[in-house]
Amino acid sequence: MYERILVPTDGSRVAEAAVDHAVDIAEKYGAEVHALFIADTDAIAYGLGTEQVDRIRQGNFQGMTELREDAEAATGYVKEQAEAVGLSVVERHAGGQPHDMIADYAKENDVDLVVMGSHGRSGVRRVLLGSVTERTLRSTRVPVLVVDYVKDDE
């Protein structure tokens, strides 16, 4: 049923919760895990020049140490978890609008399932801030498993 599972990740606790679910499902089906880190170029473009934004869109984070380290740590966590149970992993770093990049990646790589976290925002906060998860649901025909993260103290 599932041969390729995509886990978009930003390295947050929410994303790590989604990784746990994705790896569990992938292990049951012997699926390949795809870890995708996307630098939101709309959010970071204001402080960068056009050349740097173009490089980020191509997944080239050279010279941007903090961004590169964040990307490597985020997809590295997915890789560690998946390889620990014997699964193969594809890592990709890219830049663009996250929901579009997720939908495009899923289509181009014949992904069977997207597993992603949700910060659980609702009401006005969701409308004002937008939601990558919500936009992804509307941007792809691939099934999307949304993992909500609840802090231990809630």
Q: 4-148: which CATH architecture?
A: 3-Layer(aba) Sandwich (3.40)
Is 60 exceeded by the pLDDT of residue 31?
A: yes
Give the up-direction half-sphere exposure of residue 73: CA atoms within 13 A in the CB hemisphere: 11
> Using CB atoms within 10 A of its CB, is residue 92 exposed (0-12), middle (13-18) or buried (19+)?
middle
**pLDDT on residue 154:** 45
**pLDDT on residue 49:** 57
The Cβ of residue 145 has, within 10 Å, a number of other Cβ atoms equal to 15
Q: Record the pTM.
A: 0.83
**pLDDT on residue 151:** 58
Is 80 exceeded by the pLDDT of residue 10?
A: yes
Segments in the chain forming alpha helices (H) = 13-29, 41-44, 50-57, 65-83, 98-108, 123-129, 132-139
Domain range annotation of the chain: 4-148
Residue-wise pLDDT for 121-154, tens only, equals 555 555 444 488 888 989 999 999 999 866 554 4
Residue-wise pLDDT for 37-92, tens only, equals 998 877 665 555 556 656 666 666 666 678 888 899 999 999 999 999 999 999 99
